[in-house]
Amino acid sequence: MATSKPAGALLVTSTKIALLMKYRELGNTGEKLSAIGLGCMGMTHAYGDRNDEESIRVLHLALDLGINFWDTADIYGPHTNEELIAKVLAPNRDKVFIATKFGFTQAGTYNRGFDGSPAYAKKAVEASLKRLNVEVIDLYYAHRIDPNIPVEEMVGGMAELVKEGKVRYLGLSEASAETLAKACQVHQIAALQSEYSLLTRDAEDQIIPACRKLGIGFVPFSPLSRGLVTATLPTDARDLKADDFRHTIPRFQGEYLENNNKLVEDFAKLAADKGCTPAQLALAWVLAQGDEIIPIPGTKKTKYLRENAGAVDIHLNDSDFSAIEDVLKKHPNTGPRYTEAAMSMVNK
């Protein structure tokens, strides 16, 4: 079947390589993190076949490029993601700010099997420390907000881990602005992680403003819309690997995918005019939304890691922003980012 690679192939020669990584402060922590982080999930989870040798090369290249903010979770695999990362993280501990998450108790599901209780957090952190082969985790997230216990209780349990020296900073994922405010009354939240990209902009209304007000860093996951805006994926989702998580995402189905293929084609033309790849243009747009924003695009290929890093050197002007908005308005039927079942675990 046909793929959307022609535009990507056209842009390979114009890929910008970061001359020097730029850094941003994580909330009010004083920690200087690479403006482009590294999402490690896909190395062992959700996006088709593993290639551990290439993933290890990606991790070493991240060190060479100055990408010091790595993100994982215990449920990725499950467990195998933390174990893989440990092979490079442990011998280079002083060069990496490592973030991991806890809470999901069943792999392959996002609508059940979640435990944010203090007792489970205590158990989960010990297991992650062992798998990562580190003495302390820099940033420890609750992977979602537990609907069965007050957020104050959940964060209180996480705060005990800070007192015990097992965790340095706390984070939440997919939390509402109201929940963030409640959490900060118990313990300072260093980072909020949520999906944010050209195609997912819900966070702009309340969540990003709340982060700014509360001194919380905002960490977008899937800033490339799960690869959709990169012009490197098949135009037919049936060409993805059978176990690829994107088979469950509405944006890769039916009328939504038809709309999005047209959007990607037009967006790739903008990138070509800018002299960069679509992925770089999309990341540059995310970075331009605020200095407190540190996206964590995922990849398991060195080629794409270099490409992502190059986004820090792309400056967008008013004309660029207008052209991007025009493309989005031209193709508005992008579809929801999750199924209804998966969205039930997003705190509102």
Categorise residue 107: left if φ over 0, alpha if ψ from -120 to 50, beta otherwise.
Answer: beta
Residue entry with tokens 């967006």:
267
How many CB atoms within 10 Å of residue 220?
26
Residue 4 scores a pLDDT above 70: no
Q: What does DSSP assign to residue 42?
A: G
Residue 62 pLDDT greater than 80, yes or no: yes
pLDDT tens digits for range 286-325: 999 999 999 999 999 999 999 999 999 999 999 999 999 9
Compute the distance between CA of residue 100 and CA of residue 142 in angstroms, rounded to an integer.
Answer: 9
In sequence order, the 6+-apart residues with CB closer than 8 A to the CB of 273 are: none
Catalytic, 76? Answer yes
d(CA 28, CA 11): 38
Rounded to two decimals, the pTM is 0.92
269 token code pair: 């033309």
For residues 210 and 180, the answer to whether their CB atoms sit within 8 Å is: yes
Q: Which of 47, 76, 140, 304 is catalytic?
A: 76
β-pair type (69-71, 97-102): parallel
Q: What is the pLDDT of residues 100-113, one digit of tens each?
A: 999 999 765 454 68
- What CA–CA distances, in Å, run from 158 to 121, 187, 189? 7, 9, 11
Give kind and range of the element (H or E) at residue 194.
Answer: strand 191-195
Amino acid of residue 277: T
Give the chain's domains with CATH numbers.
Answer: 5-343 (3.20.20.100)
Our separate counts of H helices and E strands in the chain read 12, 9
pLDDT, mean over the chain: 91
Distance CA 254, CA 262 (A): 13
Q: Which residues, 6 or more positions from 268, have their beta carbon under 8 angstroms from its beta carbon? A: 7, 8, 10, 11, 231, 278
Find the helix or strand (DSSP H, E) in which 272 lies: helix 254-274
Query: What pLDDT, on the 0 to 100 scale, is given for residue 2?
Result: 33
- Going by pLDDT thresholds of 50, 70 and 90, the confidence category of residue 39 is very high
